Chain A
Amino acid sequence: AQSVAQPEDQVNVAEGNPLTVKCTYSVSGNPYLFWYVQYPNRGLQFLLKYITGDNLVKGSYGFEAEFNKSQTSFHLKKPSALVSDSALYFCAVFTGRRALTFGSGTRLQVQP
């Protein structure tokens, strides 16, 4: 079965420092991976996706993610964190070609 895991419930980082939110995947075949962000009492906002091609994917709001096939990882990164980046981040993988299977989420807290 296709799945993703987010090993950290919470990540704390100081404003201006680089941030990394981790995601590992377990899929058969080619993985189609996504990152979404959720602000309080809001739906999910799409950040970026990996389908094929370049292992470094650039997305919205300065975020990027690195696909690593040997480590089965798809970590989300940003060179310089903002307080406004504080939110809940979800990694997801396509399952059955149409449904997204989400990880448990990682809460990012950026301290001023």
Chain B
Amino acid sequence: DAGVTQSPTHLIKTRGQQVTLRCSPKSGHDTVSWYQQALGQGPQFIFQYYEEEERQRGNFPDRFSGHQFPNYSSELNVNALLLGDSALYLCASSLASGTQETQYFGPGTRLLVL
């Protein structure tokens, strides 16, 4: 049973560029959440996707956008990259059978913005 997978594992970009990160949820899960973890901090919630729609968003600017596909996989897009966007980006999947469902995390994508 495959867990949550993310690609790529590492990425280097320059300021102003755009980046797309990808996530495949755990088998049987239909909900994907994205988190940003800056160095030395706890993860911060970006947004969550269910039924191909964003259904909750954290305190992140519109430069951060996402998408969920019919097979439940998801993308996180960040436009106009800033140095402060350098972080580990974590994807988590869960099953939307109710609320407070356990979220299972992937290994993350480490983004470095130069």
Contact = CB atoms under 8 A, between A and B. Distances in A.
B100 A94 contact: yes
Most central of B43, B48, B55 by chain A CB within 10 Å? B43
Contacts of A103: 42
A90 B90 CA distance: 14
Given A46-B103, A92-B42, A98-B99, 9 more contacts: A32-B100, A43-B6, A43-B105, A94-B100, A95-B45, A99-B33, A100-B45, A100-B103, A104-B42
- 4 A-B pairs closest in CB distance: A102-B42, A99-B45, A43-B105, A44-B105
A112 B106 CA distance: 30
Contacts of A34: 102
Given A43-B107, A44-B90, A98 B102 contact: no
Contacts of A92: 42
B16 interface: no
Contacts, number: 59
A42 B35 CA distance: 14
Contacts of A101: 45
Interface in A54-112: 90, 92, 94-105
Interface of A: 32, 34, 36, 41-46, 49, 51, 90, 92, 94-105
Contacts of A43: 4, 6, 90, 105-108
Interface in B66-114: 90, 92, 99-100, 102-108, 110
Contact of B56 (A41, A99, A104): A99
18 contacts: A32-B100, A34-B102, A43-B90, A43-B105, A43-B107, A44-B43, A44-B90, A45-B105, A46-B103, A92-B42, A94-B100, A96-B56, A99-B33, A99-B48, A100-B103, A102-B42, A102-B44, A104-B41
Contacts of B8: none
